[in-house]
Chain A
Amino acid sequence: DADVTQTPRNRITKTGKRIMLECSQTKGHDRMYWYRQDPGLGLRLIYYSFDVKDINKGEISDGYSVSRQAQAKFSLSLESAIPNQTALYFCATSRDTSTDTQYFGPGTRLTVL
């Protein structure tokens, strides 16, 4: 987990606020991902990036945006947070092969009131 870090680890915010979650990695991987995890559901992909400036939508991208300005950093933004975005958010990285393992960060617990 130390190779993939996420900030903040916990955040409580109010409806309508703009929130940014940061992910940094020292593994030198090209591919980075943002997931959310909700109780009783599997992890779901929000956005992913295969290289700097490359952005791809996942299965639940509505209400989110991302930025990949450097290989080591991938940020997730909630432009106007709503309560159903309350969840555990994970960043992950992998090398550029389809069968390669994804390495997850420690997660950010976000609560939207």
Chain B
Amino acid sequence: KNQVEQSPQSLIILEGKNCTLQCNYTVSPFSNLRWYKQDTGRGPVSLTIMTFSENTKSNGRYTATLDADTKQSSLHITASQLSDSASYICVVSFILTGGGNKLTFGTGTQLKVEL
């Protein structure tokens, strides 16, 4: 069964600190991996997308890494800000037999940044 597991489930850090969120997946055959940020009461917003051949992608203070061999990804947030408080969702796309892609969503890591 194709699955996406994220850790930790929740995390509290102080403003200005760095943190790393983890995503492990068993999706196969792999197409691409995305990280989304979801603020409370809002829809998810894309941060990064990586295909099989990419092992790192940055978007400002967000840096995602991908190890397709071990099926692991991480999202590193640098110099955290209060506005980083949100749920971070890992989404893995796999190729369907007969064509097309299907997205499998992780349950998210709830990050809270405090003063």
Contacts and interface: CB of A to CB of B under 8 A. Distances in A.
Interface of A: 1, 4, 40-45, 90, 92, 98-99, 101-107
Nearest to B106: A42
B49 to A, nearest CB: 6
A105 to B, nearest CB: 5
Interface in B24-74: 31-32, 34, 41-46, 49, 51
B4 interface: yes
B88 interface: no
B33 to A, nearest CB: 10
A104 B102 CA distance: 16
A106 B103 contact: no
Contacts of B41: 106-107
Contacts of A102: 46, 103
Given A98-B93, A98-B101, A99-B49, A42 B43 contact: no
Contacts of B98: none
A90 to B, nearest CB: 5
6 smallest CB-CB distances across A and B, nearest first, come from A104-B43, A42-B105, A43-B105, A101-B46, A98-B101, A104-B44
A41 B4 CA distance: 11
A102 B46 CA distance: 8
B109 to A, nearest CB: 12
Contacts of A41: 107
Interface string B80-109: 000000000100010000001111111110
Contacts of A103: 46
B107 A42 contact: yes
7 contacts: A42-B105, A45-B103, A92-B43, A99-B49, A101-B46, A103-B46, A104-B45
Contacts of A101: 34, 46, 49
A99 B43 contact: no
